[in-house]
């Protein structure tokens, strides 16, 4: 133990010195040295003495989809980037359900973050630590290394990119956190894999009754979303393709139950996909229980309540429960939201440029944030007056047309509304409010304009918490950072309706490339753009090729493809490691 470590340990051990916690400040990759500054609250702050002040310091929290996509696309070498995450790798999470049963190995879907940023012209430093406090006022983040005796690190930033994702949402249901498996991290998937094998080994022990065997081999999946459904399907394949060969005696005792609180599984998908999935699961013997809400999980039993009917409560013994019901907020984000007056929200609110509302130079993307899209109705007066160039108090179609692009860019719901209503031009909108007989020369006043646009805000909806959204946000934000100076001079965004000039950047716009729902047995359902639905074996091959191409490196690509090949030839491994 060094003198310094001894010092900091002594401080911590001595309760009267507890507030005098030794902390460190790191600035822009510069050197760190000790100073004797003492802040008001008795906290020793170690200031950097030789900071490289020329470069703007960007701190990125998280190495998930959003953070990694940001880092990959950042090309402007005028930033000094520090990445902080408790995980020194990026994980290709869409393949997590495959990892739970060994269809793909955990290590095949991860890539060290240092490898991803290694050949960049941008200075990127990575610290393996977890952020536990964001101080927006003083532009600092407080982190703790899990490796080094919980020592604290304080990092200054000029720009902060919050991309720390979410945690599993237990809805505070008793026993869930203690007794259920989750499917958010690589470690979760590895633990599930071991637990499945453990259940089979336990059930094989000669001292058990048939009844006990059945309890141990009852696998419960809670949540009928794409992850839960994919895991149930993977598990079914694993059991029926591989495990039954090695555990022939326990085959009959295996049961997989999928619990969903709403009326259908995969309810964010097209009805055809839902119906196909429910039928396939029925054929496969996976027990799909819809309208069943979990109210308690003990160490051996799970209790559910019928959502409809009489609300009857039933309790079933289980061997393993996998909880996959959506995302919850990480404590550090919760604290930060309270600090900036967003305490009553579920995730951070940002504007359309991914800037956290009410903060300077803080961006949030991925699962820890949602874009708080501006309503047209909020700005209707400003829009009207900006468009009404001649200040006539009325708007001609021509005047409207001139600001139309800016409106559509600033308020994407307008474009969506026109598209959904199959309107070719804004004139059609005005027609709606003035009746069918409008001509190009028609003029509308503010009230009529309001009426014409009164419905557009109904088109607004939050983006789903998917890898696709996070990755697009990361690459969008990197693009903004790359052209920050350039766009400062020549703003490329839409008109500022409430202010002067233009926005620096175009707002973030999500492009949906479709979504897959693997259903097991080499069958996948896909909902592609334009509501195109594809189900079956060919879609499975589409899934293989899309996922292989989307992997982060040639190494992971080669590994995942070889894992698939290995599985085809040798099946999945069932060693308890």
CA angle 524, 527, 531 (to 5 degrees): 150
Total interface residues for a copy of itself by CB under 8 A = 63
DSSP states of 166-198 as a string? -EE--TT-TTHHHH-B--SSHHHHHHHHHHHHH
The yes or no reply on residue 247 touching a copy of itself (CB under 8 A) is: yes
Interface stretch with a copy of itself, choices 195-203, 327-335, 389-397, 438-446 (CB under 8 A): 195-203
String marking each residue 150-189 x if it binds a copy of itself according to CB under 8 A: -x-x--------------------------------xx--
The helix-helix angle for 426-434 and 412-420 (nearest 10°) equals: 70
Q: Per the structure block, which two tokens stand in for 50?
A: 């030789």
The yes or no reply on residue 198 touching a copy of itself (CB under 8 A) is: yes
| C-alpha–C-alpha distance, residues 192 and 61, integer Å | 27
Q: Which of 352, 401, 411, 353 is nearest to 380 (CA)?
A: 411
Phi and psi based region of residue 127 (left: phi greater than 0; alpha: psi -120 to 50; beta: remaining) = beta
CA distances, 65 to each of 62, 162, 291 (Å) = 9, 12, 32
Residue 421 gets which letter from DSSP? T
The yes or no reply on residue 215 touching a copy of itself (CB under 8 A) is: yes
String marking each residue 434-463 x if it binds a copy of itself according to CB under 8 A: ------------------------------
The yes or no reply on residue 204 touching a copy of itself (CB under 8 A) is: yes
| C-alpha–C-alpha distance, residues 380 and 497, integer Å | 9
Exactly one of 190, 290, 361, 370 binds a copy of itself (CB under 8 A); that residue is: 190
Spatial neighbors of 561 by CB under 8 A, at least 6 apart, are 548
Q: Per the structure block, which two tokens stand in for 122?
A: 């941008």
Exactly one of 246, 268, 275, 313 binds a copy of itself (CB under 8 A); that residue is: 246
Q: How far is the CB of 380 from a copy of itself (least distance, A)?
A: 50
Cβ–Cβ < 8 Å for 537, 544:
no
Interface stretch with a copy of itself, choices 111-119, 354-362, 473-481, 494-502 (CB under 8 A): 111-119
Q: How far is the CB of 575 from a copy of itself (least distance, A)?
A: 4
3-state secondary structure at position 35: coil
CA angle 463, 68, 101 (to 5 degrees): 80
Q: Per the structure block, which two tokens stand in for 156?
A: 């200054």
Q: How far is the CB of 108 from a copy of itself (least distance, A)?
A: 9
| C-alpha–C-alpha distance, residues 303 and 281, integer Å | 22
Q: How far is the CB of 136 from a copy of itself (least distance, A)?
A: 22
Q: Which of 411, 418, 407 is nearest to 375 (CA)?
A: 411
3-state secondary structure at position 465: coil
Exactly one of 114, 150, 338, 398 binds a copy of itself (CB under 8 A); that residue is: 114
Q: How far is the CB of 524 from a copy of itself (least distance, A)?
A: 26
In the complex with a copy of itself, the residue whose CB is nearer, 215 or 386, is: 215
The yes or no reply on residue 238 touching a copy of itself (CB under 8 A) is: no
Largest CA distance in the chain: 90
The yes or no reply on residue 424 touching a copy of itself (CB under 8 A) is: no
Interface stretch with a copy of itself, choices 35-43, 176-184, 211-219, 422-430 (CB under 8 A): 211-219
Exactly one of 65, 79, 89, 516 binds a copy of itself (CB under 8 A); that residue is: 89
Spatial neighbors of 50 by CB under 8 A, at least 6 apart, are 30, 31, 33
Q: Per the structure block, which two tokens stand in for 409?
A: 């860019």
Q: How far is the CB of 467 from a copy of itself (least distance, A)?
A: 18
Cβ–Cβ < 8 Å for 253, 354:
no
Interface stretch with a copy of itself, choices 85-93, 224-232, 285-293, 355-363 (CB under 8 A): 85-93
The yes or no reply on residue 80 touching a copy of itself (CB under 8 A) is: no
The yes or no reply on residue 127 touching a copy of itself (CB under 8 A) is: yes
Burial grade of 8 (CB within 10 A; 0-12, 13-18, 19 or more): buried
Interface stretch with a copy of itself, choices 245-253, 289-297, 384-392, 511-519 (CB under 8 A): 245-253
State the DSSP H helix or E strand holding residue 301, giving kind and residue range, or none if neither.
strand 301-306
Interface stretch with a copy of itself, choices 209-217, 376-384, 447-455, 497-505 (CB under 8 A): 209-217
Q: How far is the CB of 130 from a copy of itself (least distance, A)?
A: 12
The yes or no reply on residue 573 touching a copy of itself (CB under 8 A) is: yes
Q: Per the structure block, which two tokens stand in for 229?
A: 């459904």
Q: How far is the CB of 560 from a copy of itself (least distance, A)?
A: 12
Interface stretch with a copy of itself, choices 72-80, 101-109, 406-414, 515-523 (CB under 8 A): 101-109
In the complex with a copy of itself, the residue whose CB is nearer, 209 or 391, is: 209
First to last CA, the chain: 35
Name residue, tokens 């979410």.
166
Q: How far is the CB of 433 from a copy of itself (least distance, A)?
A: 58
3-state secondary structure at position 297: strand
Name residue, tokens 């941008």.
122
Exactly one of 38, 300, 389, 537 binds a copy of itself (CB under 8 A); that residue is: 300
| C-alpha–C-alpha distance, residues 373 and 384, integer Å | 19
Exactly one of 60, 74, 160, 197 binds a copy of itself (CB under 8 A); that residue is: 197
Exactly one of 21, 72, 73, 201 binds a copy of itself (CB under 8 A); that residue is: 201
DSSP states of 52-75 as a string? -TTSEEEEEE--SHHHHHHHHH--
Exactly one of 9, 56, 107, 385 binds a copy of itself (CB under 8 A); that residue is: 107
String marking each residue 549-568 x if it binds a copy of itself according to CB under 8 A: -----xx--xx--x---x--
The yes or no reply on residue 418 touching a copy of itself (CB under 8 A) is: no
Q: Per the structure block, which two tokens stand in for 126?
A: 């990575």
Interface stretch with a copy of itself, choices 35-43, 193-201, 281-289, 455-463 (CB under 8 A): 193-201
Residues that bind a copy of itself (CB under 8 A): 1-2, 4-5, 24, 26, 32, 87-89, 102, 105-107, 110-112, 114-115, 118, 125-129, 145, 147-148, 151, 153, 186-187, 190, 197-198, 201-202, 204-209, 211-212, 215, 245-247, 300, 554-555, 558-559, 562, 566, 569-570, 573-577
């Amino acid at each position: 133990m060094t003198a310094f470590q001894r010092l900091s340990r002594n401080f911590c051990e001595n309760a009267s010195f507890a507030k005098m916690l030794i902390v460190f400040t790191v600035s822009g990759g510069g050197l760190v040295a000790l100073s004797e500054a003492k802040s008001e609250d008795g906290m020793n702050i170690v200031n950097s003495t030789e900071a490289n002040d020329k470069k703007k310091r960007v701190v990125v929290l998280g190495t998930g989809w959003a953070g990694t996509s940001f880092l990959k696309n950042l090309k402007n070498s005028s930033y000094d980037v520090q990445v902080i995450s408790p995980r020194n790798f990026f994980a290709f999470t869409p393949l997590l359900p495959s990892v739970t049963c060994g269809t793909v190995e955990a290590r095949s879907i991860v890539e060290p973050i240092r490898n991803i940023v290694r050949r960049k012209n941008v200075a990127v430093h990575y610290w393996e630590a977890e952020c536990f406090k964001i101080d927006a006022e003083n532009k600092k983040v407080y982190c703790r290394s899990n490796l080094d005796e919980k020592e604290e690190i304080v990092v200054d930033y000029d720009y902060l990119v919050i991309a720390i994702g979410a945690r599993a949402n237990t809805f505070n249901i008793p026993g869930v956190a203690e007794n259920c498996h989750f499917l958010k991290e690589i470690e979760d998937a590895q633990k599930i894999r071991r637990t499945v094998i453990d259940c089979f080994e336990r059930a094989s022990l000669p001292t058990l009754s048939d009844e006990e065997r059945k309890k141990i081999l009852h696998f419960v999946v809670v949540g009928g979303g794409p992850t839960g459904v994919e895991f149930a399907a993977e598990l079914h394949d694993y059991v029926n393709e591989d495990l039954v060969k090695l555990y022939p005696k326990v085959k009959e005792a295996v049961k997989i139950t999928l619990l969903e609180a709403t009326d259908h599984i995969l309810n964010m998908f097209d009805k055809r996909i839902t119906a196909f999935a429910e039928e396939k699961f029925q054929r496969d013997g996976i027990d799909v229980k819809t309208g069943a809400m979990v109210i308690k999980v003990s160490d051996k039993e799970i209790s559910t309540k019928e959502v409809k009917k009489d609300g009857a409560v039933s309790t079933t013994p289980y061997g393993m429960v996998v909880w996959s019901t959506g995302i919850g907020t990480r404590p550090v984000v919760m604290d930060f939201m309270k600090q900036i007056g967003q305490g009553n929200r579920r995730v951070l609110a940002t504007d359309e440029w991914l800037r956290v509302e009410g903060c300077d130079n803080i961006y949030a993307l991925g699962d820890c944030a949602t874009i708080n899209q501006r309503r047209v109705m909020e700005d209707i007066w400003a829009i009207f007056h900006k468009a009404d160039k001649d200040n006539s108090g009325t708007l001609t179609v021509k005047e409207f047309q001139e600001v139309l692009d800016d409106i559509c860019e600033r308020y994407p719901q307008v474009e969506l509304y026109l598209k959904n209503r199959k309107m070719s031009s804004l004139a059609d909108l005005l027609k709606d409010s003035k009746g069918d007989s409008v001509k190009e020369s028609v003029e509308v006043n503010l009230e009529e304009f309001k009426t014409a646009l009164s419905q557009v805000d109904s088109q607004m909806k939050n983006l789903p918490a998917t890898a696709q959204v996070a990755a697009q946000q990361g690459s969008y934000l990197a693009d903004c950072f790359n052209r920050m100076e350039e766009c400062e001079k020549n703003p490329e965004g839409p008109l500022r309706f409430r202010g002067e000039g233009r926005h620096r950047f175009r707002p973030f716009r999500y492009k949906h490339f479709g979504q897959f729902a693997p259903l097991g047995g080499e069958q996948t359902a896909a909902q592609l753009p334009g509501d195109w639905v594809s189900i079956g074996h060919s879609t499975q091959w589409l899934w293989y090729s899309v996922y292989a191409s989307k992997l982060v490196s040639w190494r992971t690509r080669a590994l995942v493809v070889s894992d698939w090949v290995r599985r085809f030839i040798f099946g999945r491994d069932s060693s308890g490691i």
